[in-house]
Structure 1
Amino acid sequence: MQKASIGKILLALVISCVYIYLFGIVQVVHVSADNEREIEVSIPEATTSAETEKTPETTTIKLQDDKKPTLADVKAQTTATTKAETTTSTTTVKKRTPAPAADNTVIIPETTTVTTTAAATTAAPETTTAETTSAPTLTPDNSGEEQLSVYDQVTGTYYTAGAREIIARAVVGEIWNEFPDEAVKAQAVAEYTYIKKNNEMGVSPTTALKTDVYDRIYKLVDEVLGEAIYYNGEMIQCSFFASSCGYTNSAENVWGVDYPYLRSVDCPLDKTTDPNWGSTDSYSSDYIKNAVQNTLGIALTGDPSKWFKINSRLDNREHGWVTSISVGGMTKANGKTIDGRTIREKVLGYSLKSAAFDLKYDKNSDKFIFTTYGHGHGVGLSQYGAKALAENGYTYKQILQHYFTGVEIH
């Protein structure tokens, strides 16, 4: 009898141990499954339906430097009492890998075959190329409003929506909400021309769509929406940039395509409004030596003070766009003339603000010091120049006709 009781007690203990062991495994499996589920739901889907897609948040994304002027004081951008207007529209969205940061206002010759070149993670392609991906089908909304399609570099998505929303958000992606009225309207017309022309060619052009758009911007866009820039009756290839070195560049000098309306014009007021004027960047001689070797295949030796010599500038202007520069005694590399764009884009990966610069070597610090004038490629509308002209009484049409030679706006 006593032996039987002991046996029952042992059996109960064994059963209890087994139960505790199994219960522990169930808890571990339950926790692991929950963690896995949390990971799965945190990964966004590659595509989102039009019914559930919300306007992308863009406040934490850095915009491309050459298209976004940097004002000295941006407090008004976040403290202004005016509020952003909310718009709704039917959208078509497709995901793709975001484009690299670079000058992305690109001229697309109608008669020239354009190829896309792969780029490094921070540097643009050696030659500026056009966005060649076909635009998504434009789906009209119920209101019948004109639809435009762009590739939004902020979110890395194609975006199709009403022209009013696209232009207003793209304008603030280029200039601040606080720019003068006529400068805003000039940018709106230029932006519409740029996007509309590309859409007609089957291309969704790259732009940056902001969400913090003030009511004022929408009202100004409404005043000019649908107006475009024409040369001899045809909509132009429109381009714009932050600021010049005192005069604009030409499309022929930058992209090798001569358009009569994209030639160099004076804009002396840029240096009075642009905080980028006279910016400096310095690089050690070792950095320069390796960068030149890796990109141009030129071995730099001897005295660093003799490595570079600026030979010419566009129209021989002071602080002008560098059109020829000797590097280690060489004026060509890879079969091409070495110019300011070569140094800025290829050798230094767009870290310089423009291809209009002065250059000197400081022996004491063993560094090369670049002083740049303006910001961007320099072709077309200067945004800080437009700001200065608007503050001096120019209308948006006068501003556009100053920067785009011989054009009409309607």
Structure 2
Amino acid sequence: MIRIGGKLVHIREMLNKFKVIFAMTGFIICFLVLFCVIFVIKPNIINQYKIDDHSIKYIKGEGIEVKGTDKVKMYDTKKQQIVELNLEDYVAGVVAAEMPADFGDEALKAQAVAARTFYFSRRLSPCEEAHGAEICNSTHCQVYMSKEDRMNNWSKSEGEKNWNRILNAVNSTKEEVLVYEGEIAKHPQFFAISSGKTENSEDVFADNVPYLKSTDSHGEEIAKKFETVTEVKNGEFLSKIKKKYPKVKLDEKNLKSSISILSRTDGGGVKEIKIDSITISGVEFRKIFNINSANFTLEFGSSSIKIDCKGYGHGVGMSQWGANVMAKEGKGYTEILKHYYNGIEIEKIKYNN
């Protein structure tokens, strides 16, 4: 027993009270720490992951921090070797190869940001055909051409002017990438010409990517390949279908009655087409006949079938011709990108070696 304030207090009773106080204090401290982790620290560092010797994280208000250098490891499919390039030089080569140099400046800038983002998507998940590099220079990833190779395809009077426009687009957007909900956009898809609307990603690539949704893309009727017609002889048509699907019962007499388009996507492409007893996607039909898009109609003749296409490419993400139309209308590259990639933001990368 001890005397406190004129009262006798049992020591064990006093110790029990201290234990309760310490326990409550500890609980409050743990709660405050957990609160800070969930509501303070986590929103600032939204995502962090590591691939090989690179780590990339998004810090809110500061941009994208990349551990490593600005060097691109690219597999040259023609030379069959890995080459190392400065990132911005690489982006210039992609813009030069992927978009006509006479497109609007803001369209070229939009292409530069999309190309740079695509590279980082491969830095996160390296190309399987790059033989140990991060990315290849073919259509499997995105096409790259050196200045020398590209200049050989331009007239001498236009060459330097075209290359300078491309360099301006790249330098004006230096280190900028597309970001969606704290991550570098891993699917910054782009293609040549839409049919008037782009496609939902899940209707073409199966994966449902929230920033790749169907949207209007007007004014592309001016493109030479906006509409194309492929005529296939009945015999050739039957041969290609039966090679892919041997059990299909088709002949020249029942072609028209045995083939029908069942449904279309939000973007206007063929979603499902029935051929005799099987149903395939418009994307698969496009591959079989090597046509320009999956937005097509069929016209049956006595000896051949006409496949009328609108658009050129898979139709997902940014339409390059649509971007050019928007640029000619005075839209900036940021507006163009946010139109085609729903909910994205544009952030700068910085290197932390």
What TM-score does the superposition give when structure 2 sets the normalisation length?
0.68
Aligned to 1:303: 254
1:323 aligns with 2:258: no
Q: Are 1:356 and 2:287 an aligned pair?
A: no
Which residue of structure 2 aligns with residue 158 of structure 1?
Answer: 82
Q: Is the 1:229–1:407 Cα contact (8 Å) retained in structure 2?
A: yes
Match among 271, 282, 296 for residue 340 of structure 1: 282
State the AA in 1 paired with 2:282.
G
- Corresponding residue of 1:262: 212
Distance 1:207 1:155 in 2: 17
Q: Distance in 1 between matches of 2:74 and 2:219?
A: 32
Give the CA deviation at 1:253.
1.1
> What is the identity percentage for the equivalent residue pairs of Structure 1 and Structure 2?
28
CA distances 1:272-325 after superposition (whole Å, capped 9, x unpaired): x3211120001100001111111022131233322321111113x6xx200011
Superposition pairs for residues 137-156 of structure 1, below 5 Å?
Answer: 146-153=70-77, 155-156=79-80
Identify the residue that residue 234 of structure 1 maps to in structure 2.
183
Do the aligned partners of 2:74 and 2:85 also contact (CA within 8 Å) in 1?
Answer: no
1:378 to 279, 291, 315: 315
Q: What is the CA RMSD across the aligned residues, in angstroms?
A: 2.1
Look up the match of 1:397. Answer: 334
Alpha-carbon deviation of 1:135?
Answer: 9.3
Q: Which structure has the highest strand share of the two? A: 2
Deviation at 1:179, TM superposition (A): 1.2
Residue of structure 2 in register with 1:192 after alignment = 116
2:213 matched to 1:276? no
Q: CA deviation at 1:151?
A: 3.4
SS at match of 2:208: coil
SS at match of 2:204: helix
Could you tell which deviates more after superposition, 240-249 or 210-219? 210-219
Correspondence for 1:253 among 203, 213, 221:
203
In the superposition, the TM-score normalised over structure 1's length comes to 0.59
State whether residues 151 and 207 of structure 1, in contact with CA within 8 Å, keep that contact through their aligned partners in structure 2: no
Unaligned residue ranges in structure 2 (runs of 5+): 1-50, 55-67, 128-133, 136-140, 152-162, 348-353
| Alignment check: 8 A CA contact 1:324 1:331 kept | no
What's the counterpart of residue 26 of structure 2?
none
Structure 1 Cα separation of the partners of residues 307 and 322 of structure 2: 23
Distance 1:199 1:186 in 2: 20
Residues paired across the two proteins, number: 256
Change (3 A) 1:295 1:404: same
Residues 135 and 202 of structure 1 are in contact (CA less than 8 Å); yes or no, is this contact kept in structure 2? no
C-alpha distance in 2 between matches for 1:358 and 1:310: 8
1:215 matched to 2:152: no
Partner of 1:53: none
Q: 1:299 to 1:152 in 2, by over 3 A?
A: farther
1:262 to partner: Cα distance: 0.8
Alpha-carbon distance, 1:242 to partner: 0.5
Q: Which residue identity is paired with 1:367?
A: S
1:165 partner amino acid: D
- Give the drift of 1:154: 5.5
**From 173, 188, 192, the counterpart of 2:97:** 173
TM-superposed deviation, 1:136: 11
- For the 8 Å contact 1:135–1:150, the answer to whether it is kept is no
Q: CA deviation at 1:176?
A: 1.3
1:51-73 Cα offsets, whole Å, 9 max, x none, are xxxxxxxxxxxxxxxxxxxxxxx
Alignment partners' CA distance in 1, 2:91 and 2:316: 21
Q: What SS does the corresponding residue of 1:299 show, helix, strand or coil?
A: coil
Q: Judging changes above 3 Å, is the alpha-carbon distance between structure 1 residues 352 and 155 closer, same or farther for their aligned structure 2 residues?
A: farther
- Counterparts of 1:261 and 1:325 in 2: how far apart (Å)? 27
The answer to whether the Cα contact below 8 Å between 1:153 and 1:207 also exists between their aligned partners in 2 is no
